[in-house]
């Protein structure tokens, strides 16, 4: 899929990016290559592939919730830069 300079300008505006004409041409080529690669991936049959929820094999070490001491209202607002009464 070919990305033209007008599409690049629109994407750059939406992403708040700025670059010159030569960089726009390079960006156009790079984005076209990325989209071509994605189109290639769409050709693969992934019906039997389970979706991933995470790329990490780490397991969270969760602690039990415990009831404990908490700040009272005044102590919680003591360092607030602004507040309106309570």
Question: Among the ranges 17-21, 42-46, 75-79, which has the highest mean pLDDT value?
Answer: 42-46
User: Does the structure show a pLDDT above 80 at 11?
Assistant: yes
Which residues contact residue 18 at a Cβ distance below 8 angstroms, ignoring those fewer than 6 apart?
A: 12
For 32-70, how does the pLDDT look when each residue is reduced to its tens digit (9 = 90+)? 999 999 999 889 998 898 888 888 888 888 889 988 888
5-42 fold: Histone, subunit A (1.10.20)
Q: What pLDDT was estimated at residue 86?
A: 59
Q: What pLDDT was estimated at residue 13?
A: 92
Under DSSP, the state recorded for 44 is S
Do residues 27 and 47 touch, judged by C-beta distance below 8 A?
no
pTM exceeding the 0.85 threshold for the entire prediction: no
């Amino acid at each position: 899929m070919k990305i033209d300079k007008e599409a690049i300008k629109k994407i750059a505006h939406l992403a708040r990016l700025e670059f010159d004409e030569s960089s726009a041409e390079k960006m156009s080529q790079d984005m076209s290559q990325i989209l071509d690669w994605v189109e290639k991936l769409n050709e693969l049959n992934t019906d039997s592939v389970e979706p991933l929820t995470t790329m990490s094999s780490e397991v969270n070490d969760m602690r039990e919730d415990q009831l404990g001491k908490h700040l009272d209202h005044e102590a919680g607002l003591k360092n607030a830069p602004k507040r309106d009464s309570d």
